[in-house]
């Protein structure tokens, strides 16, 4: 069974995705509320709650096959202030990395590493942040490659995320796991441009990971929605009317089109600040009816919480997305224990990694790569 460390663990969604072939040897998160949910679902034996900068190699047991780090995205996201890896939150990558270097010095470098974040990590500081990560990995003897995987291929939830997968040492990477060049499905233009910003040294250790076509998704947004949700209430007619009143003509036309479909339509709504016809700032409600939820976010403000609009003929209802519905959109099982507080539960989901995406990555890159490493070790022995 492969061993892994889970950094910035949140509610343990990477652990859920890795599954039964993997055993967690150590988990860490700074947030005590998230850690409480982690403990409720996975137990607290491997969990260390606290600042990653205060960890030492002595806190980490054994030698891990994988170190997974979904480090904070706030300073790298479009909603951030552009601080990037110099920011207070996303900059926690560096103390994590220092810990990895210390493990290497002791001969305990993880065989594999996965760094997960928003796609803004590709363009932050004009690609210099991505290049800095590449420089760190290559300098420590890791070969690495990046892919962008959208959860929408597995769940009715639009959530593209960047995954940097690194392999330690001069291990021969199986040809079946890499492509000769970028593949549009996994390597969008902004990722290809970021590769172009790598130093010569880092580029020499970079690869183009390849993945198979994902299986056809059979679920739609409406499938995860409940008629009698827990933790939220249905809006009154007046509240729904006010929400519709915040829509532009374009978005109202989407509602009208949904009424004519003859089936139950579920739309996701986010409130955004836009310029009105006079050029003044105004809050608008924007809806999508493509059977997919908008990307879940952390509920820093009211506009960051996704609402839903359910249209069945002339009947139109609205409310906030429930915590359990948010969990389903992340691929968490029904038995997963969520915080009782709405914002805490929504924050946990909005700040996590989609479970089936982790499983897909593990099945098609991480596990085959570990098998190749083990085979190589046997031959040397």
Q: What is the mean pLDDT of each run of 10 residues along the chain (381 residues)?
A: 97 98 97 97 97 96 96 59 56 90 97 95 89 96 98 98 97 96 97 97 98 96 95 97 96 97 94 79 93 87 79 96 97 97 94 97 98 83 60
DSSP string, 276-342: -TTS-EEEEEEEE-SS-BPPP---SSGGGSPEEEEEETTEEEEEEPPHHHHHHHTT--TTPPPPSSH
Task: Specify the pLDDT at position 282.
Answer: 84
Task: Specify the pLDDT at position 356.
Answer: 98
Task: Specify the pLDDT at position 89.
Answer: 55
Task: Specify the pLDDT at position 71.
Answer: 83
Q: Where are the alpha helices (DSSP H) in the chain?
A: 13-18, 32-42, 93-105, 120-123, 128-139, 189-195, 200-204, 237-245, 249-259, 323-329, 342-350, 355-361, 367-380
Tokens of 186: 């996994």
Q: Which fold has domain 2-213+354-380?
A: Rossmann fold (3.40.50)
pLDDT digits (tens, 9 = 90+) for 152-177: 999 999 999 999 999 999 999 999 99
pTM across the whole model: 0.94
First to last CA, the chain: 20
Task: Specify the pLDDT at position 276.
Answer: 73
- Tell me how far apart the alpha carbons of residues 347 and 253 are, in angstroms, rounded to a whole number: 31
Task: Specify the pLDDT at position 304.
Answer: 72
- Tell me how far apart the alpha carbons of residues 293 and 148 are, in angstroms, rounded to a whole number: 19
Tokens 């790298």, residue? 76
- Using the Cα atoms of residue 362, residue 363, residue 366 and residue 367 in order, give the sign of their dihedral: positive
Task: Specify the pLDDT at position 84.
Answer: 56
Domain segments of the chain: what residues? 2-213+354-380, 221-349
Q: CA 89 → CA 43, 94, 318, distances in Å? A: 26, 10, 34
Q: Where are the alpha helices (DSSP H) in 48-92?
A: none
Task: Specify the pLDDT at position 8.
Answer: 96
Task: Specify the pLDDT at position 288.
Answer: 96
């Amino acid at each position: 069974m492969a061993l892994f460390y889970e950094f910035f663990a949140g509610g343990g969604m990477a652990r859920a995705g890795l599954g039964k072939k993997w055993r967690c040897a150590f988990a860490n998160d700074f947030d005590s509320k998230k850690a409480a949910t982690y403990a409720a679902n996975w137990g607290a034996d491997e969990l260390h709650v606290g600042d990653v900068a205060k960890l030492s190699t002595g806190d980490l047991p054994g030698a891990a096959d994988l170190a997974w780090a979904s480090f904070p995205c706030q300073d790298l996201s479009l909603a951030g202030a552009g601080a990037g890896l110099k920011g207070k939150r996303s900059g926690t990558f560096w103390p994590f990395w220092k810990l990895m270097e210390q493990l290497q010095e002791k001969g305990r470098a993880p065989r594999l590493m996965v760094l997960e974040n928003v796609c803004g990590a590709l363009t932050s500081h004009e690609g210099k942040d991505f290049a800095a990560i590449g420089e760190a990995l290559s300098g420590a003897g890791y070969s690495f490659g990046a892919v962008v995987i959208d959860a929408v291929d597995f769940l009715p939830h639009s959530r593209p995320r960047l995954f940097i997968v690194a392999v330690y040492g001069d291990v021969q990477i199986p040809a079946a796991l890499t492509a000769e060049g970028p593949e549009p499905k996994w390597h969008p233009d902004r990722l290809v441009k970021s590769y172009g910003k790598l130093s010569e040294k880092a580029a020499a250790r970079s690869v183009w990971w390849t993945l198979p076509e994902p299986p056809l998704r059979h679920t739609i947004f409406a499938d995860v929605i409940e008629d009698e949700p827990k933790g939220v209430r249905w809006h009154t007619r007046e509240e729904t009317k006010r929400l519709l009143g915040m829509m532009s003509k374009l978005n109202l036309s989407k509602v009208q089109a949904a009424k004519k479909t003859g089936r139950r339509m579920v739309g996701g709504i986010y409130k955004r600040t836009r310029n009105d016809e006079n050029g003044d700032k105004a809050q608008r409600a924007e809806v999508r009816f493509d059977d997919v939820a908008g990307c879940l976010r952390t509920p820093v403000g009211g506009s960051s919480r996704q609402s839903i609009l359910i249209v069945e003929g002339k009947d139109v209802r609205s409310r906030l997305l429930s915590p359990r519905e948010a969990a389903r959109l992340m691929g968490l099982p029904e038995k997963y224990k969520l915080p009782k507080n709405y914002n805490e539960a929504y924050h946990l989901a909005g700040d996590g990694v989609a479970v089936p995406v982790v499983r897909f990555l593990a099945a098609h890159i991480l596990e085959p790569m570990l098998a190749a490493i083990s085979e190589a070790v046997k031959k040397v022995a």
